[in-house]
Every structure is written in structure tokens, then in C-alpha cells.
Chain A
């Protein structure tokens, strides 16, 4: 792992279990500073769990997660809330506060964490909304927004405090092609303009490949491959190939494990 010299997030020996099942088994990797890092993998491999671990919303069973030198699992409640002010997260659903208008949603982090005068908050909200192209929607309620617009407002809210780390949880899922194109452009341009480090969790291959500087591919509770988009496309291992090319059958089987098909059709015992 070559970027360890300047990593903003440093994960070592991370182990996390749900019941008996390992979501992560002794996983180590680094998120480089100032770049867009993508974490990819099939559904259910714990990509969202990884973001929650970094955000300290859940605790790992073992291992360390260092964000700028602070080990997240060691922090107490107060310290966690402090360090989260430096993280922005875009949730899959947008997660806008449904009782607040677009303006109040974007102003929310500013109001709770700063004591800026009202006219300055108004200017900042306008700047953030302008950067996602929704300054005109400032008076709308979240219920009046389309899915793509809601996600852009949520993005404006997430960058309101100019975080050092931006985390995107499946930003492209369920978006129409235009909204998807807008989000791809936004993630890239915001990363360059604001100079933060981005972590994009996704399984949309084309969109992710087009913006990521570095990619980690997760499957079966471990990192199965990592490298630049170019490296991963050239990768020969069947697991990586199946995922990157979207093949229906391969190391990840099409069928969920089951009894023998013929005997289950014929055998009356199994049928019951």
C-alpha cells in the first residue's frame, strides 16, 4: 500500500462481525489525502458498514481506524462528535430533515456548530447551494424535491462546514442518467475545489471508474484487489474480472446455496 506516507484514514487489522458472520476479517488499508478513493464490491460486503466504522457510529471487534492520527474506536462520545464536525457524509437516501426547508437543512450544521450572524449564514447557504446548482430551490421542502435534487441538497449540507473528509454512500444508486452525470461531476469538482479527501462507496462501475484516483475492491470480508482504475480493469483474477465486467456467474455463484435441484423436485421428503 503505497500511499501510507500521507494517509488521512489509516485502517489496520480491522475485524467486524455481525453475529457469526465476518463483515471484515483483519482488513488493512489507507485512504490517501486529497484524492478520491473508491471502495467497491458486491452488495452486502459491508461497504456502508465501513463508512459507519470510520464515522464511529459502530465499533469494530478488533483493529484500529485512525483518522488524522486519532483512533476512532478509542474516542469517547464527546470527542467523537467533535471529530465528526470534520467529516461530511452523503447518505444513500439523502437523509434530509423532513421538517426543515432546503435552506434550514443546509444551514443546520452552521447553526449548531458556529455562532455566525444570520446574514452570514444566509450567504454561506447560498454559496453551498449555488455549488450544487440548487440556489433556486432554497425555499422548497424536502418532500417537493426529486431524488437527485434531494441528494444534491444533502451534498450541500454535508459540505457546509468544509469537511476534511467527504464520504459518499452509494451516491449513484437509483438516479436517472442526468442526475448521475451531475453527481459524478459534482463529486469530482468539489474534491478539486475544496481540497478535501473523498471516499466513494459504490457498485456502479462506470461512474466510479471515471472519477476515482484509487480503488479498493472488497469481497468475502477482505480486500481482494486495489489499484488505479486502469490497474483493476487489467486485473486477471476471476473474482475481480467477474465484478468489473458484471458477469452473472463466476466465483460469486448465480445460485444461492441449495440442495440438489433434481432431487428436491423429485424427493417428497425434501419438497416438504
Chain B
């Protein structure tokens, strides 16, 4: 009994310590924003590897999710003779929920784990230490550009996801199943509100981008520098980030759409 209480206390303390470390780490990385001359090329490079290289998975997933939404919506709505509402359904579910959430989950798996593994491996091979000894702050040089790249990329990717998803919906709904094109688009245009739906979806994506990238770079920087430690840290990134995304999504949804 005493043992269990002791273990619980120990676990709690280590979780709190880790939270504290990650908070300090976040502040230091935000503070260590590199100057324009050296920072801009670094940021561009990271935007490429974190953002541009995630495009394929985002576009393909967006396309298929749009197509599936359209197909599922059609089979249900056609019974009530209201298949024209498929456009509205696809657009709303994508813009409000699926784009930010699925993009963030895919982003955590594709880019987040890569960030953790990269920084962790740099730590294990003493690259971070050697950078410190050369007199360069690794927070400024390594962590900060990666953090900002993730922060900027995710909302953009989420918007691309929405656009491709709607297009996938059109492909199935209009081109294949023969919904009248005019009512498909007109319903969508009437139902989707820019401020209420689009902006809120982007705000979600910004919040997810912040949290996912924070978790990813922190886990890499804080990992035990062995092969086992890096694999654990990578797993943690994907698990923690996914849980954080889903939990945060509920919270944000309640705040944004919860006033009945």
C-alpha cells in the first residue's frame, strides 16, 4: 500500500517536473528567435521538410476523406430526397472538424515523429553538444526554426486539406452520383459562414500546430540519448500529440460552437 502511494507520488512528481521542463523549454525557444539574416534560410529549409514534404499525404488523405464523406452522405440523404445537401455536409464537416483534426494527426505522425527523431539523434551523436561548444545555441539554431515551421505549416496544410476534400466530394457527388451541380454548390455557399466556420477551423489548426510541434521538439530535446530513448521519445510524440489534439479539439469545439 505504502509502496503504491510512494510510486504514485513519484510518478506525479516526474510528470510535473517534465511539464515544468517543457514549459521552460518552450519559453526559451520562443525567446531564442534567430535574427533575420541567419534565421530566414533555416526557417525556409524547415518549412520545406516539415510542410512541403507533408503535402502528398495531406492531399491524398483529403481527397479520399472528401470522397468518402460525399458517398456516405449521399447514401443517407438520398432516402429523404435531399441529396443536394451533400455539398453543405461535406464542406461543414471538413472545415469545422476533419481538416484541422485529421491534418494535425497526420502531421504528428509524419512530421512530428521526424522532428523528434532528428533532434534526438542529434543529441545522441553529440551534435547538439558540439554546437553548444562552438558557441551556437541549439535552441536558436535547431529548435526554434523547426518550431516555427511546424506552427506555420499546419494551418496551411489544413486549408489545403479542406480544398482538396471539397473537390473529392464534388468528384463523387456531382461527377459520379449525379447530384445537380448548381444546388450542390449553392447549398454549400449558403451554409458555410466565413467567420463562424472557416476562421474557427483555422484557429483550431493554429492551436494544434502549436501543441504538436511543441511536443515533438521537446520530446526530441529531452530524450535519453540512446537508441531506446529515441524510439520511446518518438512514440511519446505521436501518442501525446494525438491525445492532445483530440482533447483540445473537444475543448475548442465547446468554446466555439457550444453556446446554444
Q: What residues make up the interface of A, taking CB atoms closer than 8 Å to B?
A: 52, 55, 57, 77, 81-82, 84-85, 87-89, 91-93, 95-98, 108-109, 112-113, 154, 157
Q: B141 contacts which chain A residues (CB < 8 A)?
A: 112
Establish whether residues B135 and A95, one from each chain, have CB atoms under 8 Å apart when the complex forms.
no
B111-157 contacts to A (CB < 8 Å): 125-127, 129-137, 141
- Complex-state Cα separation, A96 to B126, whole angstroms: 9
Q: Are A81 and B125 in contact (CB under 8 A)?
A: no
**8 Å CB contact of B134 from A57, A82, A92, A109:** A109
Does B134 lie within 8 Å of A55, measured CB to CB?
Answer: no
Using a CB–CB distance below 8 Å, which chain B residues touch chain A? 38, 125-127, 129-137, 141
Nearest B residue to A108, CB-CB: B134
Query: For B131, what are the chain A residues with a Cβ–Cβ distance below 8 Å?
Result: 97
Total CB contacts across the A-B interface at under 8 A = 50
- Cα A33 to Cα B36 in complex, Å, equals 39
Q: Are B133's CB and A55's CB within 8 A?
A: yes
Contact at A98–B127, with CB atoms within 8 Å? yes
Contact across chains for B136 and A81 when beta carbons are under 8 A apart:
yes
Known: A55-B132, A91-B129, A95-B127. A81 touches B38 (CB 8 A): no
- A57→B38 contact, CB < 8 A: no
Q: How far apart are B186's CB and chain A's nearest CB, in angstroms?
A: 51
Q: A95 CA to B129 CA in the complex, in Å?
A: 8
13 pairs from A and B in contact (CB 8 Å cutoff): A52-B129, A57-B129, A57-B132, A81-B135, A84-B134, A88-B133, A93-B125, A95-B127, A97-B131, A108-B136, A112-B135, A112-B141, A157-B134
Q: Nearest A residue to B118 by beta-carbon distance?
A: A99
Whether the Cβ atoms of A84 and B135 lie closer than 8 Å is yes
Bound form: Cα–Cα A89–B134 in Å = 8
Is the CB–CB distance between A57 and B127 below 8 Å?
no
- Cα distance A150–B127 when bound, in Å? 13
Q: How far is the CA of A21 from the CA of B137 in the complex (A)?
A: 30
B207 to chain A, nearest CB (A): 30
